[in-house]
Amino acid sequence: MLPEAFLLRMEKQLGEEYEEFLKSLERPRAVALRFNPLKGTAPAMDFVRDPVPWEPMGFYYDPDSRPGLHVYHEAGVYYLQEASAMAPVALLDPQPGERVCDLCAAPGGKTTQIAGRMGGEGFLLCNEINPKRAKILSRNIERMAVANALVTNEHPANLAKKYPGFFDRVLVDAPCSGEGMFRKEEAAVTDWSQETVEMCAHRQAEILHSAAQLVRPGGRLVYSTCTFAPEEDEMAVAAFLQEHPEFEPEVLETPWFAPVENGGHRMWPHKLLGEGHFAAVLKKTGGEETDIDIPSGEKLPAQWVSFAREMGIRLPEGKAVAFGQNLFWAPADMPDIRKLKVMRPGLELGTLKKDRFEPAHALALWLDDCKTTEHYAAESEEMKAYLHGDVVPSGKKGWCLVCAGDYSIGWGKGDGRVLKNHYPKGLRR
């Protein structure tokens, strides 16, 4: 049962379209996924259906299938993402080589979508203030083979102070009352109240104020929610523009968004295959350029150099960052990260031991090939055994990249007869 106060407001908001809107909430929801260009060419899969119009890598899939259980999901070949949730990144339009910030990034759907569009080039900061959700974000960054991302667990205001005017594009997918997810999530209905709407609006204003400081002059800020509440959508944007005259709205004509005032765009579930979403595109026309320190990297240790030579691994442009015994490869454009709560400063290469190097799972997922690689059919008994943590047959010796079909999924270490399993214990099934 939908809240009465919500229904009364929606009837006023929609007018003649109200009944059609109610009927749409009774229909089964469409489910979608987004293929990951960082893992190469998308495979043909029998449960994939029609394309999502606003995202070239997005597709609807058969609701009776369970793609989250397929080995390709663990290999980072695709991300399960609600179709409308793909639209804000389409409006953000991130480009390779840019500096981009996803300020409220967990669990990582929009962040990994941004990363795919950046093609591994440039610098991506993805932040989540909640520590538990930040860990989930970091895990999805790893699974989706993102190498050029700094994952932080910070208050947005702290990032604004540290990196003013640094980013070409900033996404604020703000925490909200979740009205657009009523069909998808029953908890969104039970947790809703007008007080929640007002609380969210207050929090959104604070986040937007921080986001404004992060955008460089000439840069783009996209604000999005999954709610219909004007207090959290067009009214929030109006208040922001009044407080920040250095920004002006951009109205982008698209066939799937219904335009509202102040550069707002709304997606209605009775007009498309997807849930409810709102997004506003804001351009920063004023402000000053800021000089932010970009430190150089550390010298790559001998253990890594030896391992990389043996395996034939070539890293992209970047710099080395050591976290204790763990070695990361960070984007060249990553600024100073001291005094920040950092979850992941780029691609984790592995762990430095006294006389050797142990490669990280993240490195395996990022690689598409190396000198020693073993391919098993995605649905083979060997792959099932590997995902379970068992040894698998192989004539290879030493470290070996394990692939499910054409897609890397982890490490093994061979003795000429079998591969000792190095698939992370927390992921085994």
Catalytic residues: 226
Q: How far is CA 156 from the centre of its chain?
A: 17
Contact 116, 58 (CB under 8 A): no
Residue 359, CB-side half-sphere exposure with 13 Å CA sphere = 28
Cα separation, 325 vs 88, in Å, equals 38
φ, ψ of residue 84 to 5 degrees: the values are -65, -30
φ, ψ of residue 290 to 5 degrees: the values are -120, 135
Residue 144, CB-side half-sphere exposure with 13 Å CA sphere = 29
**Quick one: tokens of 307?**
């391992």
Cα separation, 352 vs 354, in Å, equals 7
Q: How many CB atoms lie within 10 A of CB 277?
A: 29
Residue environment code for 28-42, b if the CB has 16+ CB neighbours within 10 A, otherwise e = ebbbbbbbbbbbeeb
Contact 413, 399 (CB under 8 A): yes
Amino acid at 332: A
- 3-class secondary structure for 290-324? CCCCCCCCECCCHHHHHHHHHHCCCCCCCEEEEEC
Identify the residue whose tokens are 């290999």.
Answer: 75
If we measure between CA atoms, which residue out of 337, 326, 403, 420 comes closest to residue 366?
403
Q: Give the CA dihedral 178, 179, 181, 182, nearest 10 degrees.
A: 130
Cα separation, 227 vs 313, in Å, equals 45
